[in-house]
Amino acid sequence: MPIRPSESARGQRGAALIHMAIAMVALMAFSALVIDYGIFWVARRQAQNAADAGALAGAIALAFQDSTNFTHTGGALTSGQAAALANRVWGVPPSVNLADDATSDVRVINCPDGTVNNCVKVNVYRASARGNSLPTFFGRLVNINTQDVQATATAEAMTSNTSDCIKPWAVADRWDEVTASAGSPGGIQNPAYDPDWNTGATYDASSGDLYLPPTSSSPGTGFRIFDSSGRLCCDYGLIMKLKQDTANAMWYQEIDFHEGNSSAVYRDQIGGCHTGTIGTTVNVKPGTSHGPTDQGVDGLIAQDRNAFWYNPNPDASKPWLNTYNPNNIPVPNGLDQQCPEGCVYSPDTGINASPRIGAIPIMSPAEMMVCSSCDITIRNILGFFVDRPAQGNGNNQEVWGRLVKIPGRSVSTGTPVEQTAAALKQIVLVR
């Protein structure tokens, strides 16, 4: 006769089933927490990466390509959207919509530090309202079928005061020239902004010429790249003919980087880079280095022969700002929209990325007039695109280039110059 389980044994078996059912519920809840919530946090980090990338790309476009077009077709918004969409969130591109109002997920905004239209804000979504929510697996057991994530980031095109690519040319800054006037025995200061810069006028402090260096609150009498609203203007794209001749407004002296005084060292420095900071000093020396200058400029141009200055809006009254394309390089579709104020374009390196773009330190003309192998304070740093081979001989030799913007480095000492005079830009996430 078989042995029948006792009533006690049957009761224990039933209790085990109840414990197992409770454990299964707990296990499913734990799985939902680990797997579904884990998906949420991984996607949240990916969404933030997408927003960061979009904001940085938008700010770069705002700083170095298109600082005036804030519409959904402008470079800042389209670059921000493209970079954000390129970063997938849980395997799917996020939703990033463009519009010409506050509903746009990519916008040019005022920055937290108060600068106007100098920041790009990007929002990215994987959400039910956008039709691309995240999936759930164990959450479906309790009727949680989707989960949403979103992220936001803001990047600023900030002014900087340090460049890592200084060229060995110390250039005199702009000044206000005193001009003679009928009935005025001593002459008067022309009220126009430095009217004689392109006429070869010589700085002469004894005649009353005025030079004011740029500061953190004023552009002084020097070069300007932006207007008060942060838009490119004034000297951006200006062709400069640097000469080693103080009888010319655009004169320069060689910088001694203390790497040796040979002509070969100076030649190689033209194609190389050195660090310089506004407010610090460099040693400059007189003299003419015709051959090494020719060789150095030719070597620099050889690094990107097809680069050229492009201006989509030629102006007959300002021919020095117009396109100079000696190799007749085809202009790609969309370049007008990507750099409406003009830019350096190369089919090999893209927009404003040519190795022929370096930085030149700008000095007080009053200090340069009396300096011979001495230290001079850097008053400003401007981007300089070497536009064409050097021309002429001796003091009449000319180094041709364009004033442009250039990436800067974080502020290391002192403060940057006022925004309208600042050609150095650094891109920073601020939110």
Number of CB atoms found within 10 A of residue 57's CB: 25
Within-domain flag for 281: yes
Strand blocks (E) in 225-379? 239-243, 252-256, 276-277, 281-285, 308-310, 343-346, 350-351, 357-363, 374-377
* SS3 (DSSP) at 260: coil
Q: How many domains does the chain have?
A: 2
Q: What is the pLDDT of residue 47?
A: 96
Choose between 75 and 21: higher pLDDT.
75
Within-domain flag for 123: yes
Measuring CA to CA, which residue among 350, 311, 347, 304 is closest to residue 329? Answer: 347
The Cα 257–Cα 288 span in angstroms is 16
Of 90, 123, 158, the domain-final residue: 158
Q: What is the pLDDT of residue 185?
A: 38
Based on the fold, state whether residues 23 and 148 are members of the same structural domain.
yes
Based on the fold, state whether residues 68 and 167 are members of the same structural domain.
no
Within-domain flag for 149: yes
Whether residue 323 has pLDDT greater than 90:
yes
Based on the fold, state whether residues 69 and 191 are members of the same structural domain.
no
Q: Give the position of tokens 């011979």.
A: 372
> By percentage, how much of the chain surpasses pLDDT 90?
51
Q: How confident is the model at residue 213 (pLDDT cuts 50, 70, 90)?
A: very high
Whether residue 32 has pLDDT greater than 70:
no
Based on the fold, state whether residues 146 and 172 are members of the same structural domain.
no
Whether residue 198 has pLDDT greater than 70:
no
Within-domain flag for 337: no
Residues 6+ apart with CB under 8 A from 38: none
pTM for the complete prediction?
A: 0.81
The Cα 349–Cα 366 span in angstroms is 39
Based on the fold, state whether residues 172 and 254 are members of the same structural domain.
yes
Picking from 10-19, 33-42, 87-96, which range would have the lowest pLDDT averaged per residue? 10-19
Based on the fold, state whether residues 195 and 229 are members of the same structural domain.
yes
Within-domain flag for 6: no
Based on the fold, state whether residues 116 and 174 are members of the same structural domain.
no
| Mean pLDDT computed over 283-300 | 87
Within-domain flag for 335: no
Measuring CA to CA, which residue among 271, 244, 274 is closest to residue 259? Answer: 274
Highest mean pLDDT among 109-118, 230-239, 355-364 belongs to 355-364
| Mean pLDDT computed over 261-284 | 92
Choose between 147 and 27: higher pLDDT.
147
Based on the fold, state whether residues 59 and 204 are members of the same structural domain.
no
Based on the fold, state whether residues 390 and 366 are members of the same structural domain.
yes
Within-domain flag for 325: no
Q: Using one digit for the tens of pLDDT, what is the confidence trace for 366-392?
A: 898 888 889 999 999 999 999 999 988
The Cα 150–Cα 51 span in angstroms is 9
Q: What is the pLDDT of residue 1?
A: 52
Based on the fold, state whether residues 132 and 221 are members of the same structural domain.
no
- Range of 194's domain? 162-303+355-429
| Mean pLDDT computed over 257-271 | 89
Strand blocks (E) in 144-194? 146-147, 149-159, 162-163, 169-172, 178-181, 184-189
Picking from 43-47, 189-193, 380-384, which range would have the lowest pLDDT averaged per residue? 189-193
| Mean pLDDT computed over 310-332 | 91
Q: What is the pLDDT of residue 186?
A: 40
Within-domain flag for 212: yes
Quick one: how far is CA 15 from the chain centroid? 70
Q: How confident is the model at residue 7 (pLDDT cuts 50, 70, 90)?
A: low
Based on the fold, state whether residues 216 and 298 are members of the same structural domain.
yes
Q: What is the pLDDT of residue 66?
A: 77
Of 125, 158, 191, the domain-final residue: 158
Q: Give the position of tokens 């060689």.
A: 254
Residues 6+ apart with CB under 8 A from 266: 168, 254, 289, 292, 293, 296
Of 158, 191, 222, the domain-final residue: 158
What is the pLDDT of the chain when averaged over all its residues?
85
Highest mean pLDDT among 156-160, 185-189, 357-361 belongs to 357-361
> By percentage, how much of the chain surpasses pLDDT 70?
84
Based on the fold, state whether residues 280 and 368 are members of the same structural domain.
yes
Whether residue 17 has pLDDT greater than 90:
no
